[in-house]
Amino acid sequence: MNHHPIELFIPVFRWLNRVMAEYGLYIYLVAVWASPFLIAWILRGGFWRRRPRPRVAAVRRIVPPSSAVPPPLPSSIKGSSPSLRTSDGDVQSFGA
């Protein structure tokens, strides 16, 4: 008995040949009609798209309210020059 690897697959090749001879047209039509959907699936992410993780509705993270404190003013506005002050003591926005 010959144990050549190709001769072990001869029954498989004969079966594929018979299937293609009998159902080749139908296999071709299914492949043609399915190819646009397959191409669209691949372009949308296909194999590389990550599966969405299931969201646990019962667990919620509670964030305590923070105190709203305005940021500190820059030093140029805190110590404005006396030339920007008007006669009544207000500070002008522009030096014009």
* DSSP labels, the chain: ----HHHHTHHHHHHHHHHHHHHHHHHHHHHHHHHHHHHHHHHTTGGGPPPPPPP-SS-----PPPP--PPPPPHHHHT--GGGB-TTSPBPSS--
Structure tokens given for 14 = 């004969």
Residue 67 lies in a domain: no
Q: What is the pLDDT along the chain (96 residues), one digit of tens a residue?
A: 567 878 888 899 999 999 999 999 999 999 999 999 999 998 888 877 777 777 666 566 777 777 778 778 777 655 555 555 566 666 666 655
Residue 16 lies in a domain: yes
Residue 1 lies in a domain: yes
Number of domains into which the chain is organized: 1
Residue 91 lies in a domain: no
Report the alpha-carbon distance of residue 89 to residue 70 in Å, rounded. Answer: 24
Residue 71 lies in a domain: no
Residue 61 lies in a domain: no
The pTM of the full predicted model, rounded to 2 decimals, is 0.42
Residue 12 lies in a domain: yes
Residue 58 lies in a domain: no
Contact, 54 vs 47, CB < 8 A? no
